[in-house]
Amino acid sequence: MAFARAFVPFPPSSSSRPSLLFLTISHLSVPFQSIRNLTVSASSSALNSSASMEMEAPKTHRWRPMCLYYTQGRCIKMDDATHLEKFNHNYSADLKVNATCLNRLRPQDLDYLLVLDLEGKVEILEFPVLMIDAKTMEFIDAFHRFVRPSLMSKQKIMEYIEGKYGRFGVDRIWHDTAIPFKDVLQEFEVWMTNHHLWEKDQGGSLHRAAFVTCGNWDLKTMIPKQCKISKIKMPLYFMEWINLKDIYLNFYKRTATGMMTMMRQLEIPVWGSHHLGIDDAKNIARVLQHMLADGVVLQITARRSTASPDEVNFFFGNRIR
């Protein structure tokens, strides 16, 4: 069964300049005005680009919320025309790019970028990952699971989820689909293995891929905390990451404290619900695509010490703290 998701309507855009990356959909967009190599490449063309990078979609394209049963492989209404009209079942619809922008891409050390945006403060409640091709900016695949806390009482979980996801209208979906963190990691490892991103018997690190986060919190703080709660050893593939905030700061030479600031400065309309993990991951992926189109070269920004896992080395002197 599918349940509607609640969204706050956004006012029409007053900007006379189109989004650099995506078509602005007036009734759903927020109006905005606007280690490997340790040097982030920048150019004046990236800062003052006038080339429009629009979605490869017809003018009739409209944003729709993702079916959150589908994102977890559990949608049973794929033959229901009303359901398919109401909910999106195609990640690529919001992440397409114009092929003409490929001319401005810079060579990358990585093949794939895994955009990760965790939700949950006491324990992880949502684990979404979007796989982006670093060479073409194309969306490849997604992994999305809701995560069931292991230490909270049932009453606490009910209160926590109602406060967190009830406002989006997806609390029922969370209760229907959430699984323990240990199970999420097992399924995630199968997903990564299927995409040749990771092999357990080859040291456990990612193969020519890296996590991309909007900040250090996800992998510096929350993953180690959840692993301790779940009484599991932290996997080696979580040992390093790319903090997009630091890349953004060094590339554009301006500060963005979070996803919303980046999107405002780059004039990218916000789609979906902020703090619903899968929607935030898609919006972060759109910022990433925009930056790749502007010519950014990505590098690992933080790595955890294997000898002392609590110690994290940050590779950019100029970074968001």
Tell me the pLDDT tens digit for each residue of 260-317: 999 999 999 999 999 999 999 999 999 999 999 999 999 999 999 988 888 999 999 9
Taking residue 183's Cβ as centre, other Cβ atoms within 10 Å add up to 14
Q: What is the mean pLDDT of residues 68-85?
A: 96
Residue from 61, 85, 119, 138 carrying the catalytic annotation: 119
Structural domain contains residue 289: yes
Structural domain contains residue 5: no
Residue 42 scores a pLDDT above 50: no
Whole-model pTM?
0.81
Q: Which of 29-43, 169-183, 240-254 has the lowest mean pLDDT?
A: 29-43
Structural domain contains residue 141: yes
**Partners of 197 in the beta sheet?**
none
Better pLDDT: 269 or 104: 269
Provide the pLDDT for residue 126: 98
Provide the pLDDT for residue 198: 96
Question: Which residue is associated with the tokens 């349940």?
Answer: 3
Structural domain contains residue 320: no
Q: Which of 15-29, 109-123, 243-257 has the lowest mean pLDDT?
A: 15-29
95: domain CATH number is 3.30.420.10
Residue 209 lies in domain: 44-58+65-314
How far apart, in whole angstroms, are the C-alpha atoms of residue 236 and residue 185?
12
Taking residue 260's Cβ as centre, other Cβ atoms within 10 Å add up to 16
Residue 232 scores a pLDDT above 80: yes
Structural domain contains residue 11: no
Confidence of residue 10 (pLDDT cuts 50, 70, 90): very low
Confidence of residue 184 (pLDDT cuts 50, 70, 90): very high
Provide the pLDDT for residue 62: 83
Rounded to whole angstroms, the maximal C-alpha distance in the chain is 55
Structural domain contains residue 15: no
Q: Calculate the average pLDDT of the chain.
A: 84
Structural domain contains residue 17: no
**Sequence-ordered list of residues with C-beta below 8 angstroms from that of 48, at least 6 positions apart, any chain:** none
Provide the pLDDT for residue 52: 35
Residue from 27, 240, 275, 290 carrying the catalytic annotation: 275
pLDDT above 70 covers a percentage of the chain that reads: 81
Provide the pLDDT for residue 61: 60
Distances in Å between the Cα of 99 and the Cα atoms of 8, 96, 102, 103, 203 are: 33, 9, 6, 8, 36
Number of domain units in the chain: 1
275 belongs to the catalytic site = yes
Residue 45 scores a pLDDT above 70: no
Q: Which of 35-44, 84-93, 176-185 has the lowest mean pLDDT?
A: 35-44
Q: What is the mean pLDDT of residues 125-152?
A: 96
Confidence of residue 201 (pLDDT cuts 50, 70, 90): confident
Beta pairing, strands 302-304 & 240-243: antiparallel
Residue 22 scores a pLDDT above 50: no
Q: Cα angle at 214 between 212 and 218, to 5 degrees? A: 80
How far apart, in whole angstroms, are the C-alpha atoms of residue 100 and residue 318?
32
Provide the pLDDT for residue 114: 98
